[in-house]
């Protein structure tokens, strides 16, 4: 018997496309723990994790059967991307987008950081974090304060108004100007927020 752990993902994918159902079982077994942990880390619920896990592999099977897979041997990142999109769909459907981490060391992309990026993407993402933090630090203090409270501490404008001693309308205005200024600074510094 061939030792399955020595067969590459791309060979297993090809074998499955060519009719070997067993190859898919090997792929699922090989990656299920990592994928399950990844989904669970986002939704924090076992039942929902199992649903999304199943949906991910239904999508994988459909794509492979249609012959639309061309990831050049990068099977796991492709499956992770499908799972990630399904997690986002789940949050959208249930109107409960994940909250930003409530820490001073905030980062605007904490929601989508999956910890499984390759080295190049990791560097790009770290650069984006760095650039965004730099822009926030360039904002006038009043605008920066409101932006941080709203985006990173998930405070309502009522709470922001109570904490800063200004009216809700003033807090809303500061938030609006903070976003306008961030847009200007992004253009000025030619920062690209995609990776």
Structural domains in the chain?
Answer: 4-93 (1.10.1740.10), 119-188 (1.10.10.10)
Q: How is the chain classified by DSSP, letter by letter?
A: ---GGGS-HHHHHHHHHTT-HHHHHHHHHHHHHHHHHHHHHHH--HHHHHHHHHHHHHHHHHHHHHT----TT-HHHHHHHHHHHHHHHHHHHTT-PPPPP-SSS--TTTTT--S---HHHHHHHHHHHHHHHHHHHHS-HHHHHHHIIIIIS---HHHHHHHHTS-HHHHHHHHHHHHHHHHHHHHHTT-----
Identify the pLDDT of residue 133.
78
Identify the pLDDT of residue 54.
93
pTM above 0.75, yes or no: no
Identify the pLDDT of residue 55.
92
Mean pLDDT, each 10-residue run in order, the chain (195 residues): 73 89 90 90 88 92 85 80 87 64 45 51 66 82 87 83 89 89 79 55
Identify the pLDDT of residue 125.
64
Identify the pLDDT of residue 73.
59
């Amino acid at each position: 018997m061939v030792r399955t752990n020595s067969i590459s993902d791309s060979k297993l994918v090809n074998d499955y496309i060519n009719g070997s159902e067993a190859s898919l079982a090997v792929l699922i077994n090989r990656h299920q723990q990592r994928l399950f942990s990844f989904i669970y880390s986002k939704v924090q619920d076992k039942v929902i994790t199992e649903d999304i896990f199943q949906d991910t592999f239904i999508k994988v099977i459909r794509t492979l059967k249609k012959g639309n897979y061309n990831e050049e041997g990068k099977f796991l990142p492709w499956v992770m991307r499908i799972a990630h999109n399904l997690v986002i769909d789940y949050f959208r459907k249930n109107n409960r987008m994940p909250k930003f981490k409530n820490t001073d060391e905030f980062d605007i992309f904490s929601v989508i950081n999956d910890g499984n990026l390759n080295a190049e993407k990791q560097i790009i993402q770290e650069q984006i974090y760095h650039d965004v933090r730099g822009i926030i630090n360039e904002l006038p203090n009043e605008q920066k304060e409101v932006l941080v409270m709203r985006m990173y501490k998930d405070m309502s404008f009522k709470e922001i108004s109570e904490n800063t001693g200004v009216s809700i309308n003033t807090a809303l205005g500061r938030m609006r100007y903070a976003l306008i200024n961030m847009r200007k600074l992004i253009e000025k510094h030619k920062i690209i927020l995609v990776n």
